[in-house]
Amino acid sequence: MTTCTQRQAWITLLRRLHFAIGLFVGPFIFVAALSGTLYVATPQLENIVYSSVLNGSREGEPQPIARQVDVTEQLTHHALRLHAVRPALEAGQTTRVMFSDPSLGVSEHRAIFIDPVTLAVTGDLTVYGTSGILPLRQSIDYLHRSLLLGDVGRIYSELAASWMWIAALGGIVLWWVTRPARKRKPVKRSRFMAARQLHITLGLVLLAGLLLFSATGLTWSQYAGGNVDRLRAALGWMTPQVNTVISGKAAAADPHAEHHGRHHGAMATQEIDSADFDRVMGLAQQNGIQATLLEIRPPRNSNQAWTVTEIDRRWPTQVDAVAINGETMQVIDRTDFNQFPLMAKLTRWGVDFHMGVLFGLLNQLALVGFGTALCVLIVMGYRQWWLRRPAVASRNPAQTLCEAWLQLSMVGRISALIVTAALGYAMPVMGFSVLLFLLIDVLRWKRAQRRQATTPAVN
């Protein structure tokens, strides 16, 4: 084969792969984009819906955190392990006291909201994750992550994240290698050309976002996420974590520890003096923890330290943390975001941008625009297919990816197999979906054979 023929063979393979991704994975990307847009567009709505829970007294002297904690523990009859406290540090806020409840799902906590001035309980809700989202957005988040199907449903979002970057880069390459060498004379555009032009324009505009959301989505994925964590650890890109071990050897860190098992009631932890919350927070503030959004976590056992962590992920990012020995009231370790490695900072910013919190309202508006444009891009891709679909299949329908691969040289075929195997190993859901693509081609081919066998010959 000549160089030109091989170039055309690679273009054909890429075109057919791009078509397969759009046809089979496009709906999943569409749902992820739509549900993600709903998620980032609803913080203000959530604040309105739960305004009576989130808003406390604007005047008056706040009570010590210890008294606020005591009120909430009386409400739970001391039957649940106290997970963390997010104190109200600004007027008009309510303190959030979170408990580990064995009846709740992974990463969920029972949160009791209390007015720090009057000690009145304003709400008792389930909150989710580090972001502490409330039930309204939690439902949208579950839709975005798993289609409300639990761990099985998470395969859908991993499938979307695994293929989105390939579809984006492949589409750009196809546009680049097939674009006209010089501008043609203006002609009346057909419906197909109008849809194609909009599809290409949106692809170029959204390219950076598609790559970012694909990468950050994979870090949260069920199967590829573990490979991403191992790669980050090998390259020294992991986010520094504050050491909470007071003495002896630290146990091996499990990045998914909160997803395994649950602690049942107060039996899972040591007795905590509620007055320590005030002492620990005061010491943390003396040692540079100055954000207005804080989370205080008590130790789970006598060999663990308290932690006070900044949780303000807006710009500028405030996520410093200190570990404090509860017996000596001394800081034993700290992490400062300014000292994080560059890749750890980029990961933090990328995830926060993905969630729509990094730049506040500006971030939200950008993601709403991005999500809407991505949905339009996918619809225009389907419109192109619909306008150009053949009335009757004139060729063997199995001759798609397989045929394009066979047109490559031996070196090209082996290279394609190696790349596919490597990506399939790194992203197992993507690798399995490639097999499904090929299986669907074969099934369509068998169906066409049966249809041809039952069709009478025309003389």
Q: What is the DSSP string of 231-281?
A: HHHHTT-SPP----B-SSPPPPP-TTGGGS----GGGGS----THHHHHHH
In this structure, the answer to whether residues 369 and 351 fall within a common structural domain is: no
In this structure, the answer to whether residues 348 and 382 fall within a common structural domain is: no
Query: Which pLDDT score is estimated for 267?
Result: 35
CB distance 161 to 221 below 8 Å: yes
Count: domains in the chain: 3
Residue 255 is assigned to a structural domain of this protein: no
Residue 260 is assigned to a structural domain of this protein: no
Residue 33 is assigned to a structural domain of this protein: no
In this structure, the answer to whether residues 23 and 76 fall within a common structural domain is: no
pTM, 2 dp: 0.87
Buried b (16+ CB within 10 A) or exposed e, 365-395: ebbbebbebbbebbebbbbbeeeeeeeeeee
Residue 256 is assigned to a structural domain of this protein: no
CB distance 158 to 150 below 8 Å: no
SS3 191: helix
**Residue 155 has which token pair?**
């395969």
Identity of residue 157: S
CB distance 324 to 280 below 8 Å: yes
What domain range is 110 assigned to? 43-146
H or E, element range at 304: none
**Residue that is last in its domain, among 334, 355, 376:** 355
Angle between helices 154-178 and 224-234 (to 10 degrees): 70
Residue 81 is assigned to a structural domain of this protein: yes
**Residue 179 has which token pair?**
């674009």
CB distance 387 to 198 below 8 Å: no
Q: In angstroms, rounded to a whole number, what is the distance separating the alpha carbons of residues 115 and 95?
A: 6
**Residue that is last in its domain, among 87, 119, 146:** 146
Residue 382 is assigned to a structural domain of this protein: yes
Per-residue pLDDT of the chain (459 residues; tens, 9 = 90+): 444 588 899 999 999 999 999 999 999 999 999 999 999 999 999 999 999 999 999 999 999 999 999 999 999 999 999 999 999 999 999 999 999 999 999 899 999 999 999 999 999 999 998 889 999 999 999 999 999 999 999 999 999 999 999 999 999 999 999 877 555 555 567 888 899 999 999 999 999 999 999 999 999 999 999 999 999 888 888 889 999 998 754 433 333 333 333 333 333 446 788 999 999 999 999 999 999 999 999 999 889 999 999 999 999 999 999 999 999 999 999 999 999 999 999 999 999 999 999 999 999 999 999 999 999 999 999 999 888 876 555 455 445 788 888 889 999 999 999 999 999 999 999 999 999 988 887 787 777 677 777 766 554
In this structure, the answer to whether residues 171 and 308 fall within a common structural domain is: no
Query: Which pLDDT score is estimated for 424?
Result: 95
Q: In angstroms, rounded to a whole number, what is the distance separating the alpha carbons of residues 215 and 346?
A: 12
In this structure, the answer to whether residues 201 and 294 fall within a common structural domain is: no
State phi, psi for 296 to the nearest 5 degrees: -110, 125
Query: Which pLDDT score is estimated for 187?
Result: 56
In this structure, the answer to whether residues 19 and 157 fall within a common structural domain is: yes
In this structure, the answer to whether residues 235 and 338 fall within a common structural domain is: yes
Backbone dihedral region for residue 132 (phi beyond 0: left; psi -120 to 50: alpha; all else: beta): left
Query: Which pLDDT score is estimated for 403?
Result: 82
In this structure, the answer to whether residues 5 and 55 fall within a common structural domain is: no
In this structure, the answer to whether residues 199 and 167 fall within a common structural domain is: yes
- Rounded to the nearest 10°, the torsion over CA 145, 151, 156, 162 is 90
Is the link from the previous residue into 64 a cis peptide, with omega within 30 of 0?
no
One-character DSSP codes across 311-341: -B-SSSPB--EEEEETTTTEEEEEE-GGGS-
H or E, element range at 59: none
Taking alpha carbons only, the member of 84, 150, 148 closest to residue 112 is: 84
Q: In angstroms, rounded to a whole number, what is the distance separating the alpha carbons of residues 341 and 345?
A: 6
CB-based burial label for 275 (10 Å; 0-12, 13-18, 19+): middle
In this structure, the answer to whether residues 335 and 377 fall within a common structural domain is: no
Query: Which pLDDT score is estimated for 391?
Result: 59
In this structure, the answer to whether residues 241 and 212 fall within a common structural domain is: no
State phi, psi for 147 to the nearest 5 degrees: 55, 30
Q: In angstroms, rounded to a whole number, what is the distance separating the alpha carbons of residues 361 and 237?
A: 29
**Residue 325 has which token pair?**
């020995």
Query: Which strand ranges, in their side-by-side order, compose the sheet holding 81-86?
Result: 121-128, 108-114, 95-100, 81-86, 294-297, 306-310, 321-325, 330-335
In this structure, the answer to whether residues 61 and 5 fall within a common structural domain is: no
State phi, psi for 197 to the nearest 5 degrees: -65, -40
Query: Which pLDDT score is estimated for 219?
Result: 92
**Residue that is last in its domain, among 355, 380, 397:** 355
What percent of the chain is helix, strand and coil (3-state, nearest 5)? 55, 10, 35
Residue 152 is assigned to a structural domain of this protein: yes
SS3 187: coil
Total residue length of the chain: 459
Q: In angstroms, rounded to a whole number, what is the distance separating the alpha carbons of residues 352 and 349?
A: 5
Residue 326 is assigned to a structural domain of this protein: yes
Identity of residue 388: R
CA distances from 127 to 72, 134, 138, 139 (A): 16, 5, 8, 11
Q: In angstroms, rounded to a whole number, what is the distance separating the alpha carbons of residues 199 and 182?
A: 20
SS3 374: helix
Taking alpha carbons only, the member of 95, 92, 85 closest to residue 55 is: 92
Query: Which pLDDT score is estimated for 3?
Result: 46
One-character DSSP codes across 109-135: EEEEEE-TTT--EEEEEEEETTTTB-H
